[in-house]
Amino acid sequence: MAKTTVVRRNVGVFAHVDAGKTTTTEHMLYESGQIRAVLRFKIEPGPCGSGLQYDSQVRAENLLPQYQNEVARRVPQALQQGLYGWEVVDLKVTLIEGEHHVWHTHPLDFAVATPMGIMDGLVNTETMLLEPMLQFRITVPEEFGGK
């Protein structure tokens, strides 16, 4: 009988704020197989001004309701984080497939997998960043105004 050796590594990630520590850690966990959550989204553009519309077509037998609730809670957060730092708006996001492991899955697996899936979907569908629309008003005293 072959002897199995388990190797464990403790990894510390230190960096400045917004340097990508969370993303790096999540990616390491995902690649190592420690995240046991499978999600598949259908992402469609929505009418201008419609905001986020979220729906789930996954049955409770395939993905427990507590995990579906975690996904529904994390989708708006992922879109607020957005592509290139700008919030993504006016989308219809539908969860069309989800799987979990009976013993090994934890709700935090879906907290990590949801933003990864949403961002991957936005990048792979070639979502473009439109010029941000910013509105502002400048008020100056009349003597400093031009003609």
Question: Which residues does the chain have with pLDDT short of 70?
Answer: 1, 6, 8-13, 15-23, 25-35, 104, 132-133, 147
Sheet holding 52-56, edge to edge: 37-45, 91-100, 52-56
Contact between residue 39 and residue 28 where contact means Cβ atoms under 8 Å apart: no
- Residue 127: exposed, middle, or buried by beta-carbon count in 10 A (0-12, 13-18, 19+)? middle
pTM of the shown model: 0.65
Instruction: Report pLDDT for 71.
Output: 93
Q: Is 30 helix (H, G, I), strand (E, B) or coil?
A: helix
Instruction: Report pLDDT for 4.
Output: 76
Instruction: Report pLDDT for 26.
Output: 61
Query: Cα–Cα distance between 115 and 119 in angstroms, integer?
Result: 6
Any idea what DSSP says for residue 83?
B
Instruction: Report pLDDT for 111.
Output: 86
**H/E stretch holding 116:** helix 107-124
Instruction: Report pLDDT for 52.
Output: 93
Instruction: Report pLDDT for 35.
Output: 60
